[in-house]
Each structure stands twice: as structure tokens, then as C-alpha cells.
Structure 1
């Protein structure tokens, strides 16, 4: 069945490409700086900060913040980020945009364009602003080697390395990268677990010690060349991730054994992709994309406490095949049209096993295979009906067929129209107002169909084959103000009227045992207010300094399926905020910065028999980077040295929360040790 779907996608792409090649062609450089919707920033704009790469340059763009592609979203239409390379989105949605930009030396960048909605011939992918990194076209060969280490104050240390090679000549480009990166997860740390009766009396106190390590490796290659008047980009990547977590929970009484929990997770992922972009005549752009991704995950968790044991194992295979074609046409100076067609085949096959003292425990959704055939057609138009006014309208129609086999067989089909209308007003050269109304449809997470367990917290979750995607009508408004000093502020408000909200529900297994699972809980609403600030501080006497701040306030309301009371949606954070300050010191050939994130973050989770509230202290990172000669850079960075505190309070009920009293309250406190790193980078060519 998978081969049939892949074959259909291939045939469609070949037919579309052949039709495009038969059209008359007039090649054009990506992007145009003559349009009012596009602002160009050449090398002179960045000259004072001596950037090392395109990433440093993009961070300096006024009023722009990088939005990564959403790797876990199936398909391309809702997954693309807000950064273009030579006029096209990266061929892989799983490529980290920041890392991709860091591989482009600053000397290779001709200019960077800020593209606002309304620019002709540009697919904005739902973003109000895009950054387009235009590279030099002259022949050049570049290479870089970076090596260093990451270490923690508690004694852990591991090496890191990265190798890059790039060559461009006569419209062709070859890029190769090899990287290895270790990480100390912030689940690491020492702490304690205290258990109380409802009246506050302490009944148990245990110490915990956790070490969570992760090693990530990646090999990637990209080839670009002219083909039939357009640009063909081929990509391939192999990624691996190895995670190990060891936890020891001390016994309450000195004579009792400790609980020891070992977790291991190995992920291997392979991906190949192709993207073809071609200018057809003066006013039409064709873009075709095809990709294939496969992933293999093995995970195991074991818990031992004296003579008692629990084991959870999971084997999951995933895959995604995508074919997509986009056409944009500039009908006139005031009208622009677009159309797209996308087909995708996705699958997930998972086998999970839970054993308690050697005896198997049945979990709904423990042995499943899920397949999805998804098609989406879209059409849209933008109209500049006055000098400062722009209107956009579009319609996407999604058709998805999902089948599940295994212990919970089920077949379903969903068809959703997703209209969108937007209005933009350029009040003057520095103020812009945006207003939009759209129909949004969430995407089912295949992991919600599969059973899972966390032995250290004692939480077991069943899969739910009957889960449906959430839908909402979204009203959004934004105001953007740009100052003469290249500072910018953006204020955004969004209101979602939700139906079929996805949260947590109670499910009953065939043997009558009840489990918590993801499920639909009815209607709800969400309001979000976001504020972004980007400002150079030279006018305040802080030469070469730049301040960035992002703050978001969120409030959601749904009806709890267990108690019938109103509450927020599980796992949604009411506040998210970050602040960073950087400064360039050209005379010292140095660049330094400090950032604070996770400010005031907290979240609540609602299960049928438990309420969990998690919070964490703000995190911080400070770095300093120095150029040595023309080829060397050394960078030192420290994150949360001295530790960062995490807290979790779990109210456990003796049955459903609607009819059962609180049995006990558990509080978990943990201090994560933080880490520091040192790296040396040597570049050649350019």
C-alpha cells in the first residue's frame, strides 16, 4: 500500500514537471528589491558587527525573529519556517534553521531581504514576514572545522565536533556537513520527592539523583544546479540520537532498597528530498517538492526496587512520503494568484509492552499500525486595492484517510475546508496593521494513538484510536512599528474559538481497567497576546549593543470532562518570555551576550485521577566569542551554572476527581546543574 502511494506521488510529480518544462522560460534572480514589500540589507548594514555567518546576520534584522519549521507536522503546508535560502524554503523541514544559517559564512552572503506579505511571487507559508538569504554567485570554496567540549560542574564532560564543506561555481553548489553534539538534559539533577496527606502531614520523603545524557549525530549533503532554466536542489541526511537516563530514588527508610530506573532510547532517521524552482515567463513561479523520510525508534525503561520490577519497551517505525507543487502568478501590479497541490503518505507502526514483576499488563493501543493518505489543494489571491492597502484570500481543502490496525482497528476519513482572509494596512512608512480570519484544523499526533509509560512517575497512558483533530476559527490582529534606528516592536493578539478540543479523557480497557488517554473534550477558547521588541542601544551610549525581548500571555478555557468545571487546556503555558542582550566590540574583535529564557513558565496537566502543576526557574546563558586573525574563532558559553530549580506538585485522587477525595499530594523538587562549553573554529576559503 505504501509503494502504491509513493508511486502515485512520483507519477504526479513527473507529469507536473514535464508540463512546466514545456512552458517558455525567462530566468530571473530570486527576489526583487524594487518592490515596497521587500527591504534589502546589504553587507554594509552588517559591517559594524563583523558577523561570522548568516545566522549572526539574520539576528540583526530589525523586527525579525527566526521561526523554525515544525518537524513533527506531517506535510509541508503547515510546517515551513520563515527563512528562505536563495528564494526557496529549505528542502528539508527537519533541518534546523539556525544550524543551516551557521553553515553559510558571512562572506558568502550578498544581501538579506525582509519580505512582507503582499510581495508578488512569494509563498509566505502563513508568516507575515520572511527573511531571504541571497548568497554570492561567484565561484568560491569554503570549509570549516569546529571542535570543543561540553561539561557540567558535577563532573560530566564530552567532546563536540563539526565539519563543513561548501563549493559554488557556475550556478552549482555542493554542501556537506558532519556534526556530533552531546547534551546534558535538564531532567538531570538532584532533588527530593515528598508525599503528604491532604491535611499537609508528611508521610514520605525520598532523595533523587538523575543523569540524563543525549548524543546527536548528523551527516548531510546538498547539491544544487541549474536544470531547464530553473534550480534543482537535492538533499540527503542521516540523523541519530542516543539518549540514556539513570535515576536513583532513595528509600524512605534506611533499611529499604533504593528504586533504580534505567531508560534508553535510540533513534535513527534517514531522509532524501528534492526541490525544483523555476521562473516561467516574467510573472509565474513554479516550485515542486518531493521527499521521503524513514525513522526507527527503540526505547526501553526498567525499574527495580528490591524484589519488585517493571519493564516498558517500545519499538516504533515511522515514514513519510510527500509530493507538492506550487504555482504563483503575478497577474498585474496589484493582483497576485497562487495555487498548490500536495499529497502525502504517512505511517507509524508501534509495538509496546509493559510488564510488572514479569507479568504482562494490557494497554489499549499497545500494538498498532497507522496509515494516513492525505491530500490538500489550495488556491489564493492577493490584491493591492490602494497604495497602502492589501487584501488576501485563500481556501485550502484537506482530505485525510486514516486507518489503524492491531488491537484497536479503525478506519476514518476527514475532509475539512480551511478558508482564510487577511487585510494589511501600511499606515505610514513605519506602521503596519494586519488583521486576519481563518479556519484552522489541528493535526493528529500519531503518538496519541500509541500506549506509553513513565516508570519514574508511575504514569501509564493508553492510546486512543478514536481521537479527532481539533478545529477552530481564528481571529488575529497585529501591529508592527519600525523606528528610524532600526528598532522594531510587534504586538499580536489571537482569539481561537475551538471545537473538539484535544485534552485528556478516561478510557476503559476490555478487562475493565481504566486508563488516562488523549481525547476530544468539546468546545473551548484561547486568547493569546504576544509582544516582540528588537532594538539597538547605540543611541543610549551602549555602542554595538542590541536588545531582543519576546513575551507571550495565553489564556484558554475548556470544560473538564471529569468534573464539568471550566479550566485551562492541559500543558498550555500561561506565560512564555525571553530577553537577550548582545554587544559587538570591534576594537577587541569580540562579541558577547547574555540571555534569559523560560521566564515565569508553568503548566498544568489534568488526568481523570490527578492534577499536576509544573514550574521552573528562569534559565540563563552567557557567551563570549573572539576572532583570532581572519580564520579562527573561539567561543565560550555557560548555561545555568549554579543550577536551575524545577518543581512539580501532583494531587492524586482515589479514583475520578469528580467523585473521589484527594488521596495524597506529591511534591518533586530538582536542581539541574547546568553546563558550559568551549569551542574552536577554523575556516578556510571564502
Structure 2
């Protein structure tokens, strides 16, 4: 890793002089940490939407990709992710403010705004006062046009063809207008997100003899109809009110076929049917309070409901019967209110004082029924019913101090108070209640030092506290592992101390930039899978896991533990401590100096070593599902004379592993490459083509399954899995009128 960093530093240093005069500079603000891209800059790229404009700014596509991945992760986890707002947030702001929405996220909004409505885009590096979020890295602030009466309609039609499957359509229409002090946007989008998995699994006994092969074919579609609205009104007294709303009914349907050569009845089919509805209303209001300062207030109210049914069948024809049925119901609601007042203390200092309240409800039930043969009836085998209420309050003070023209210090202190009441509704109606209160003090210090107009150093020290994933409170079926995962209502929030040192160098005339960061993270109450087995000695008295496995091997004692209580059991829980350290290197470079004008190459590399103690083996290991190395490369080349753009995106990660009480599962993921090309026609229309999955691989893994507990070292079987993916081709046609 050190050799890679050294090589990158030397290469970047050597190129500075070569490219320093090859480009015209963008407009620079008075603050050297801010670079402004005005409308004249974007005329070269013929953008149709705001998203097109951002894609043409070096360094921004990586942030857009990261936001998209986080949105997909939040969609998959349901109850996971951050609740409330906090001081962090999107790295993309509009008029210095974040969008007052959670489900109604910023990435979706960007694709609905016409490029003609944008005045300019600011890239802000490091600590800066007056923004809605605190950031250690790059913040993008989009400044909209004001005072003009406009009316624009944007439309987009998308078709996605997946190898071996049909063409799937999607479409979006959005109308934006203004009248006097009122700006508004209305939009409708029909989404079809098809997902296909094709894998082959080979099964081996402990002696290494192959005993079966399984072929898996999964076709699933997430679909929805999203209705959005955004309103903004400028009052005569300088106050501004923004409101946004979302209503999105949808669902998921899919079938997974598992054909295993050793099964008596073949194949096994898992049929999924999910109905989902979500709505959200959010808004913010800002105005000057004179000598008191500036008022900022935000609110969000949302609700999400899901009914998730999985039916599993064996056999075909007259032999086919349903052997299990899983029924999951979710009700999730959140109300967030945040307000603050910002006041200048001196010409160089300002302070923001405020508070936030978030009220959450999370009700989830899981019922699993099964039967052994077609002649018997389905009977309830597992049931879990959890109702959760969380009230969380924050009071905060943020201080910005421009120590000199080159040094800015941001410091903040946030105190969080939360109360969680989790009721586990037992059979017969009895309630097992967990009533817990937490108080956390979260300081943050962020120093920015502009060594020169092109060199910046940033220092960060910050205490963070995670929001709990309420899905971990409820039993669920893990489809990949084919296991029931019991819930745990006793999980505590994870605490982290983050320390980071960052150096950034910007080449002259906006020719590119290079950034290197080293960091260290210290975790307390780290959330991982924990052993919940009730171990006993030969007298059936409780003992620790280490004491149990130190006893002489005894089949009778092992069987007693297996059949008593929950048996050999694992759940999500807390580990006292863990740590992580690493480095990030990223850069972007315009390639005009090698004869490729209007071309940009961006690259990112992250090394992060996360270390914790495995709760089943006692050995030190990496975090579950986390890679030590990640890479990404983006290339974009614009040909303005013919209004044509092409490029590629490459992402990869190193090996990672999954850990559980009875398995070890190392994975080797395949890299992903996306190619694209787009052509602007008649100024207001654009055609874009994308190709993805060209290597036809998702990765491969080896699954080591043990009897009862991995520490017995009693191998049950080994599975070799090969995951494939079909080629995906997409066409987008979009325009404005």
C-alpha cells in the first residue's frame, strides 16, 4: 500500500508543471476554497438537466454514485440508516440548503430540474460557514436562477434490455414553473427495477467428494409510481418557504428457482410478492430575525408500509406443494422537527444554536409456517412481533471562526437524548418490554488551512453515534444463507471517534486535483453478530463459551446445549470495542495536455483495515462483509462540436468474508464496468446508451458450513458458488419543451 501511495504522489507532482498552463481557469470566489462553475462553462456540454451539469464537473460524479448507492442500501434495509437529520447530510445542497426530505432524496430531484433554471454551481472544499451541513470533504452548492417567470417541462423515456429477458420500460415527466415569488415542480415517474441472479453451486462432503449441484435462477422486479411536488415561495420580508411531497405506491414480484440434483422433489421455487406504500411531506423556512440572527427550520413527516409474502414450493405437476410460507408486515413512521438561529458574533465568528426532535414508530411482524409433506397442513413454526417507539432529541451549538484569511475552525457540540421502548409481543399476548434511555455528547472539530491558493490541509476529530437498525430487532429469513435470523431488542447504538488528516492540491486553471487522507476510527459498542448460546458445564451450571470449549469433548453435553432454550444461537449485538485505520487517495485530471481536450479522468482508491474480535472463534478478523481495498475509475470525454459524450465507470473491491456461528463464507466479488455514450439533438433532446455487466460475472465464493458451531471444527459441507449476471443495455431519450 505504501508503494502505491508513493507512486501516486510522485506521478502527481511530476504532472503539475506539465499541465499548469493547459486550461482556462474557472471563476474563483473570494474564498480560495470555493470554485464557481457558471452557465458559460456548461454551454460546452449542452446539458438538458441539472444532473447533466453535475456530471460535467470533475469530482462530482463520484459523489452522485455514492449517494445512489446509499439510497439503494436504505431501500434494501428498510428500518436501517439514519433517522432524523443531524448536522451531517447530503454533500449536494441547493441555495446552501439541503432538501427537507428522506425518501424524497436529492438525487431524484436533480434529474427533474432543467439546466436552464441553474445560475451557477459552487464546489466548496473543507470547513465553511453558512451551510446546512458540516463536511470534511467536498460540498456542491447549486445556486438557482431568481426573479424570472419560467415554465419548463422535462420528459424521459427509458428502456432496459437484459440478456435473455424482455425490454422493460420506464418514464418520467416533470413540469417546473414560476409565477412571481412562487416556484413549483410537479413530477410523475414510473419505475421498473428488474434484477436477475444466475448462479451455480457445487456441494462437497467433509472428505471433498462432490455430492450435488444446484442451479439458481432469480428474476425479480421492484416497481413503483412516484408522484413528487416541490414548492418554494419568497416572502417580501426576505423569508423563504420550501415544501416538498412524495407519494409512491409500489411493490415487488419475483420467483427464484433452485434445482438441486440431490433433491427428491425438484425444483424448489420461492415466490415473492410485496406491496409497499410510502408518502412524505417536508419543508423548510428561513428568514432574518434582525439583531437576533437568521432563523432556519426544517420538518419531515413520513410513513412507509409493507406487506411481504414469500411462498416456497417443491416439485412440479401433481407432486408440487407449498412447504413453507413467510409473512412479514411492516409499519414505519417518522416525524422530524429541527430549528436553529445563526448569528454573527464578530466579523470573523458566527454561532448557530438549535435543536432537533425526531419521533419514530417501527412495527414489524414475522410469521413462518411449514409442513413436511403435501398431506399435512401448514403450521406456524416461528413468530415474532415487535413494536418500537423511539423519541430522540438533540441540542447543538456550531461555532465558525475565521482565524485568518487562510485558517477556518469549525467546532460543535451536540447532546443527544433518546428513549426507545421495544415491545416483543409473545404468544398469548404477553409483552416483553425493553425500555432504555441513552444520552450522548458528540463534539466535533474541523480545521481548514489554505496553505496556498491551491493547497489545503484539513484536520477532523468527531464523535459519532449510529442510529439503530430496527430490522435487527425482529426475526427474519436470510434468503442468501437460507437461515432464520432471530431478532434482538437489546442492541445499543454504536459509538465512533473519527480522526482524519487530509491534504488536497488543486492544479492551476482547474486542470485537476489530488487528495490524500489518512484516518483512524475507534468503535465502542460495535454492532456485529454475537454468540447468544446458553453454555453449561457437566452439572448444567452456566459457564462462558471459552470455558465450555475447554471442556473435554462430550456428545451428550453438546446435544443438551443444542436442544435447550434457543440452542446454539447467534443474533446481532454489541462488541465492546473495535477499530479501523486506513488511507484514501483520489484525484481528477483534465487530459488536454495529451491532446484529448474536454476529457476528464478520475480515480479513487481506499484502503481501510477494520479489526474486531470474532465472537465465535475468539480470533481477530475484519468486519463482516467489508473489503480492505476499493477502487473506482471514471473517464468522460465531451466532443462539443458534435454534441457527443462517451465514457466509462469502473468499480471494484477486494475479497471480503461473512462470519456466523456455524459458517465461514469468503467472497471474491467481480469488478463492474459501465460504458455510456450520449448525443444531444436539436439542443433540447438527448439520447443516451449504457451497457453494464459486460464481464457477465458477479463473483464467486466458498461457503464452509459446520455442524452447530464453527468452534467444534466439525465440517458439515463445503459449497462452491459461482454468481453470474447478464449483460444490461439501456437507452434513455429525454428532452424539454
For normalisation by structure 1, the TM-score amounts to 0.90
Q: Aligned in 2, Cα 1:353/1:569: closer, same or farther, shift over 3 Å?
A: same
Residue 58 of structure 1: SS of its match in structure 2? helix
1:615-634 equivalences under 5 Å are 615-634=668-687
Aligned counterpart, 1:549: 603
1:403 and 2:428 correspond: no
In the alignment, is the contact (CA less than 8 A) between 2:48 and 2:736 conserved in 1? no
> What secondary structure does 2:653 align onto?
coil
Supply the distance in 2 between the matched residues of 1:55 and 1:254 (Cα, whole angstroms). 51
Kept in 2: contact 1:73–1:79 (CA 8 A): no
Matches within 5 A, 1:302-341: 302-306=311-315, 309-341=323-355
Instruction: Identify which of 361, 379, 386 aligns with 1:347.
Output: 361
1:48 aligns with one of 33, 44, 49: 44
Supply the distance in 2 between the matched residues of 1:412 and 1:274 (Cα, whole angstroms): 31
Q: What is the distance in 2 between the residues matched to 1:587 and 1:107?
A: 21
- Of 474, 478, 482, which aligns to 2:502? 478
Question: Which of 149, 154, 173 is the aligned partner of 1:139?
Answer: 149
- Whole-Å separation in 2 of the counterparts to 1:33 and 1:580: 27
- 1:369 counterpart = 2:387: yes
Which residue in the other structure is 1:18 paired with? none
Structure 2, gaps ≥5 residues long: 1-27, 75-80, 316-320, 372-377, 427-431, 535-563
Give the structure with the higher percent helix.
2
Alignment partner of 2:261: what SS? coil
The residue aligned with 2:408 is 390
Q: Does residue 1:453 correspond to 2:473, yes or no?
A: no
Map Cα deviations across residues 589-637 of structure 1 (whole Å, 9 max, x no partner).
211221112x134432111111122332111111111111122221221
Question: CA, structure 1 residues 148+525, in 2 after alignment: closer, same or farther (shift >3 Å)?
Answer: closer
Q: How does 1:162-241 map to 2 (within 5 A)?
A: 162-185=172-195, 188-227=196-235, 228-241=237-250
Distance 1:356 1:513, change over 3 A: farther
2:77 is matched with none
8 Å contact from structure 2 (residues 103, 280) kept in 1 = no
Cα distance in 2 for partners of 1:454, 1:474 equals 32
How many correspondences in the alignment?
648
User: Is 1:639 aligned to residue 653 of structure 2?
Assistant: no
Q: Distance in 2 between matches of 1:63 and 1:409?
A: 48
Contact 2:212 2:262 in 1 (8 A): no
Bigger Rg, which one: 2
Say whether 1:604 aligns with 2:604.
no
Task: Give 1:99's match in structure 2, choosing from 95, 100, 108.
Answer: 108
User: Aligned residue for 1:24?
Assistant: none
Relative distance call for 1:212 and 1:485 in structure 2 (3 A) is: farther
Kept after mapping to 2: 8 A contact 1:397/1:418: yes
In 2 relative to 1, CA 47–455 (structure 1 residues): closer, same or farther, beyond 3 Å? closer
Q: Cα offset for 1:575?
A: 2.1
- Supply the distance in 1 between the matched residues of 2:594 and 2:246 (Cα, whole angstroms): 46
Q: Distance in 2 between matches of 1:141 and 1:523?
A: 56
Deviation at 1:386, TM superposition (A): 2.9
Distance 1:240 1:642, change over 3 A: farther
Give CA deviations for 1:534-554 in whole Å, capped at 9, x if unaligned. Answer: 221112111221112222221
Q: Deviations over 1:223-252 (max 9, x none)?
A: 110234211011110123422231111131
State yes or no: 1:425 paired with 2:452. no
Equivalent residue, structure 2, for 1:295: 304
User: Aligned in 2, Cα 1:120/1:421: closer, same or farther, shift over 3 Å?
Assistant: closer
Q: TM-score, normalised by structure 2?
A: 0.84
Question: Contact conserved, 1:261 with 1:456, CA < 8 A, in 2?
Answer: no
Residue 576 in 1 paired to residue 630 in 2? yes
Query: What residue number does 1:496 align with?
Result: 521
C-alpha distance 62-620 of structure 1, shift in aligned 2 (>3 A): closer
Q: CA deviation at 1:255?
A: 6.5
Q: Distance in 2 between matches of 1:516 and 1:672?
A: 32
Contact 1:617 1:645 in 2 (8 A): yes
Question: Partner of 1:658: helix, strand, or coil?
Answer: helix
**Cα contact 1:301–1:455 (8 A) shared by 2:** no
Q: In the alignment, what sits opposite 2:566?
A: 512
- Alignment match, 2:158: 148
Between 1:51-60 and 1:265-274, the stretch displaced more is: 51-60
1: CA distance between counterparts of 2:420 and 2:630? 34
C-alpha contact (below 8 Å) 1:80/1:93 kept by paired residues: no
1:420-464 alpha-carbon deviations (Å, 9 max, x no partner): 122221111111111111212121111111110035632211110
- 1:532/1:326 Cα in 2 relative to 1: closer, same or farther (>3 Å)? farther
Identify which of 451, 464, 468 aligns with 2:492.
468
CA deviation string 1:122-179 (max 9, x = no partner): 2333343321111111111100222231111112221111001001232320101111
Deviation at 1:95, TM superposition (A): 3.0
Structure-2 change in CA distance of 1:211 and 1:627 (3 Å) = same
CA gap of 1:127–1:83, structure 2 versus 1, over 3 A, is farther
Is the 8 Å Cα contact of residues 136 and 458 (structure 2) preserved in structure 1? no
Partner of 1:159: 169
Contact 1:525/1:557 (<8 A) preserved? yes
Whole-Å separation in 1 of the counterparts to 2:322 and 2:193: 32
CA distance in structure 1 between the partners assigned to 2:278 and 2:328 by the alignment = 16
Partner residue in 1 for 2:370:
356
In 1, Cα distance between equivalents of 2:497 and 2:192: 42
Q: Is the 8 A contact 1:38 1:119 kept in 2?
A: no
Q: CA deviation at 1:302?
A: 2.1
Q: Supply the distance in 1 between the matched residues of 2:158 and 2:412 (Cα, whole angstroms).
A: 49
1:290–1:441 CA distance, 2 compared to 1 (3 A): same
1:673 maps to which of 719, 726, 733: 726
Cα separation, partners in 2 of 1:483 and 1:491, compared to 1, 3 Å: same
SS, match of residue 104 in structure 1: coil
Compared CA separation, residues 624 and 61, structure 1 to 2 (3 A): closer
Asked if structure 2 preserves the Cα contact closer than 8 Å seen for 1:644 and 1:674, the reply is no
What is the CA-CA distance between 1:54 and the residue it aligns to? Answer: 1.9
Summarize deviations over 1:558-591 as a string: whole Å, max 9, x none.
1111121111111222222221111111121211
Q: Distance in 1 between matches of 2:292 and 2:503?
A: 30
Q: Which moved more, 1:550-559 or 1:88-97?
A: 88-97
Do the aligned partners of 1:117 and 1:124 also contact (CA within 8 Å) in 2? no
Give the Å deviation of 1:389: 1.8
Instruction: Find the aligned partners of 1:471 and 1:148 in 2 and give their Cα distance.
Output: 43
- Contact 1:389/1:425 (CA < 8 Å) preserved in 2? yes
User: Larger deviation: 252-261 or 392-401?
Assistant: 252-261
* 1:461–1:515 contact (8 Å) kept in structure 2: no
Q: Does 1:532 align with 2:586?
A: yes
Q: Report 1:228-307 matches (<5 A).
A: 228-253=237-262, 256-281=265-290, 284-306=293-315
